[in-house]
Amino acid sequence: MHMRVAIVYNEPSPSRYDTSGETKAVLGVLDAVAAVQRALLELGYDIIRLPLTPSLEQARVKLRSLDVNLVFNLFEGFCGYPETEALVPEALSELGIPFTGCPGTVLDSALDKVRVKVILQAAGIPTPDFQLLNPQTLHLFQLDYPCIVKPRGEDASHGINETSVVDNPARLAKQVQLVADSYGGGALVEEFIDGREFNATVLGNSQAIVLPVSEIV
């Protein structure tokens, strides 16, 4: 009997990311789904695809209906609502269905860039000096320019583009206001470090396996 694997992902839908010019990033999940499906079929697994669309309760009903051995989790949250990213692993944990990727608690923590920086600092891992600012607290700014301004709670690089690096008070104020208007909440302002960017993928539970490091270019 072949193992049945469900590929669970968020169905791209209109969201506030459309007006931010980030539609391409949202649609990227479909490329990932296709690539994972090809690989799993080549390995002999039976595959079903399960796209999820808002609402939360409908998503939970679909997950409860699954009759599979494993879920390959590519769900990144409903479009425009990254805080829902933990929905799938939390539901699957309750149902006792094995799944790939991080548990919901880790996804929740990773979504908060300020929380991640505090965790890194506590572990002794260097990270640029930062402040959490909004348009009303700009007068408290005390970092050294240049700085990079990011939404505090968006997934990956949403809200980060060529205007995110600022080198004077006027540009800082404009970018913090843009983050507040577009994404809500505070803006994470960090001292900017010019350099290369890498991804390091770690697999495993009790014993970790680090895959080859890839560079974002």
Whichever domain contains 20, its CATH number is: 3.40.50
Residue 73 in any domain: the answer is yes
User: Does residue 23 surpass a pLDDT of 80?
Assistant: no
Over residues 134-156, the mean pLDDT reads: 95
26 pLDDT above the threshold of 70: no
**Per-residue pLDDT, 59:** 87
The verdict on 15 and 87 lying in the same domain is yes
Residue 24, pLDDT > 70, answer no
| Within-domain flag for 97 | yes
User: Dihedrals φ, ψ of 70, to 5°?
Assistant: -160, 145
**Pair (98, 149) in one structural domain:** no
| Phi, psi values for residue 146, rounded to 5° | -80, 160
Looking at the structure, do residues 69 and 21 belong to the same domain, yes or no? yes
Rounded-to-integer distance, Cα 104 and Cα 9, Å: 15
What CA–CA distance (Å, rounded) separates 45 from 85? 26
Q: Give the end of a domain, one of 110, 136, 166.
A: 110
Please indicate, yes or no, whether residues 140 and 101 belong to a single structural domain of this protein.
no
Q: Do 36 and 97 share a domain, yes or no? A: yes
96 and 22 belong to one structural domain: yes
Q: How many domains does the chain have?
A: 2
Whether residues 21 and 100 fall in one domain: yes
Residue 21's pLDDT is 55
- pLDDT tens by residue, 183-212: 888 999 999 998 898 999 999 888 999 999
pTM, full prediction: 0.82
Q: Per residue in 50-82, pLDDT tens?
A: 999 888 888 889 999 999 999 999 998 887 788
Residues 134 and 90 placed together within one structural domain of the fold: no
* Residues 86, 30 share a domain: yes
The whole-angstrom separation of Cα 18 and Cα 36 is 26
Q: Rounded CA gap, 34 and 51, in Å?
A: 12
Domain containing residue 138: 125-191
79 plus 133 within the same structural domain: no
| Structure confidence at residue 119 (pLDDT) | 96
Same domain? For 103 and 135 the reply is no
CA pair distance 124, 87, nearest whole angstrom: 31
pLDDT of 109 higher than 80: yes
Q: How far apart are CA 50 and CA 213, in angstroms?
A: 30
Share of the chain above pLDDT 70, in %: 93
Query: What is the structure's pLDDT at 15?
Result: 54
| Nearest alpha-carbon partner for 190 in 105, 116, 124, 122 | 116
142: domain CATH number is 3.30.1490.20
Q: Are residues 47 and 8 in the same domain?
A: yes
Q: Between 128 and 20, name the one with better pLDDT.
A: 128
- The Cα 135–Cα 45 span in angstroms is 52
User: CA separation (Å) from 25 to 100, 101, 200, 205?
Assistant: 21, 20, 20, 29
